[in-house]
Amino acid sequence: MAIEKGTVEKLPSGNFRLRVTVGYNENGNPIRLNKTIDTKNRRKAYIELDSWIEQIEEHGYEDISTITFENFYENMWKKEARSMLEPRTLREYSDIIEKRFLPSLKTKKMVEIKPYQIKEIVIAAKSFRKDKDSISRKTKKRFLNALSSVFNVAKDQYRIINHNPVSDVRLPKETSLKSETPKPYSIEEVNKMFLALEEHASDKTKALVLTAFFTGAREGEIAAVEEQDFDFANNTVCFHQRVVLDENKKYQRRDGLKASDSKTIPVPESYMNYMKQFMLQNQNARVKLDIDPEHKYIFGSPEGSFELPTSLYRNWKRFIKRAQLRDIRFHDIRHTSASYLLADANIPIKAVQEILGHKDYRTTMNIYGHALEESKRAASDRFSKLFKD
């Protein structure tokens, strides 16, 4: 193995960091190794660097397993994750890894980390909040998701490991704990919501809730949808962009969706007729202002600015308070829409998967398995009516 590049960097602590490039991954990005040494001067640091390079060239970096969890996280995962994850998810995962896993795993070699070690860390995790001691199983699973992303990059992008140890971790069930996330609306509550839209909602709120329910779109996708995305001839809505928080925690419009470039959702004609009337209000406002912005967001300002997802959320909260509906998140309208569809045994899971924009149907199954069970139960009850003692 020929080392293409080696550098020496003096750290504020007085130590020196050695860095070598040992190759490139399948995307053409350099694979680098770091090593911190305690030496007196730069000349001796270069001597250490030459010795380290000779060792790597003789044995290979995989053979000597010099890649520690900290090394891989800092120098490889962080770089890859920027293009793989949403900015908000990247911040969350980085925070989890650095607070929950790095203290225990930092010096351990990637190839030697075992599922039981990961499980012990997660099971022993305590809340950092003073008013809360325990951590829910759902939060612990989020910890595992963050860590799994590190090992997936090591396995799929860099070929450092052959198997992701997180996939073998099984958390104990905590049946006594109540779910932190509200359940989506039942069919009865959906009917109540539609009645409330007629009695308690403004035109904008009605358009917003109907869009969320009939398309199953995420907040950021709804905030970025424009007039041109509505096809009235075919009764479809195309989502191809979203509003997200960037690395500086500022909202930006970005092309593409979370799991795909775009998705086109068929919707009821009655919904499209209502949206046509709602858009007419926006168009009249632009005529009065004598403006023609590049982006004509459905729920944005006439001047062409998009509505913040947080504003859509507050709009929903005000509506359910006035209408005295059960308090759920705006995002839970998406869950309600999916559960509503899956409760109908005649609707294929694949169709719901495409509406939600999931890459894998198993994601749909895992999230909405309860709705499928209700559908199976309803089918069983229907069969039972055919047989009477």
pLDDT score for 186: 87
Ordered DSSP codes for 148-159: HHHHHHHHHTS-
C-alpha angle 338/196/337, rounded to 5°? Answer: 5
Residue 32 DSSP label: E
CB atoms within 10 A of CB 22: 22
In this structure, are residues 346 and 340 in contact, taking their beta carbons and an 8 Å threshold? no
Tens digit of pLDDT for each residue in 322-365? 999 999 999 999 888 888 887 776 777 777 777 777 666 565 55
Q: How far apart are CA 204 and CA 101, in angstroms?
A: 45
**d(Cα 339, Cα 187) in Å, to the nearest integer?**
9
For residue 104, the model assigns a pLDDT of 95
Identify which of 349, 383, 354 has the alpha carbon closest to the alpha carbon of residue 369: 349
Strand 241-245 with 236-239, pairing: unpaired
Under CATH, domain 69-168 is a member of which superfamily? Tyrosine recombinase, N-terminal domain (1.10.150.130)
φ/ψ (deg, to 5) at 241: -150, 170
Whole-model pTM over 0.75: no
For position 280, what pLDDT does the model report? 96
CB count within 10 Å of CB 248 equals: 7
Contacts of 233 (CB under 8 A, 6+ apart): none
280 φψ region: left (φ > 0), alpha (ψ -120 to 50), beta (else): alpha
User: Is the sign of the CA dihedral 65, 69, 75, 78 positive or negative?
Assistant: positive
Tokens matching residue 112? 């030697």
- Per-residue model confidence (pLDDT) at position 112: 92
Quote the CA–CA distance of 309 and 102 in Å, as a whole number: 33
- Among 202, 199, 221, which residue's Cα sits nearest to residue 211? 221
Give the helix/strand (H/E) hosting 276. Answer: helix 269-289
pLDDT at 345: 65
Q: Could you tell me which of 153, 85, 96 has the C-alpha nearest to residue 121?
A: 96
Tens of each residue's pLDDT in the chain, 389 residues: 456 678 999 988 888 888 888 776 667 777 777 777 888 799 999 998 888 788 777 656 554 456 899 989 998 899 888 878 888 899 999 999 999 999 999 999 999 999 999 999 999 999 988 777 789 898 999 999 999 999 998 888 777 888 999 999 999 876 554 555 678 898 899 999 999 999 999 999 999 999 999 999 999 999 999 999 999 999 999 999 999 988 778 899 999 987 788 999 999 999 999 999 999 999 999 999 999 999 999 999 999 999 999 999 999 999 999 999 999 999 999 888 888 887 776 777 777 777 777 666 565 555 555 544 554 444 444 444 444 44
Query: What is the pLDDT at residue 175?
Result: 58
| Consecutive H or E run containing 137 | helix 137-156
Residue whose C-alpha is closest to residue 38's, from 72, 67, 11: 11
Strand partners, 21: 5, 32
- The ranges of the chain annotated as CATH 1.10.443.10 are 187-378
Which residue, 56, 312, 91, 94, is CA-closest to 205?
312
Look at the chain and count its residues. Answer: 389
Phi-psi region at 14: left, alpha or beta (left = phi > 0; alpha = psi -120 to 50): left
User: CATH 1.10.150.130 in the chain, residues?
Assistant: 69-168
Give the Cα separation of 119 and 172 in Å (integer). 10
pLDDT tens digit sequence for 95-114: 999 999 999 999 999 999 99
Residues in contact with 328: Cβ distance below 8 Å, sequence separation at least 6, in sequence order: 182, 183, 184, 185, 320, 336
| Cα torsion 263, 264, 267, 271: sign | positive
For 187-378, CATH number? 1.10.443.10
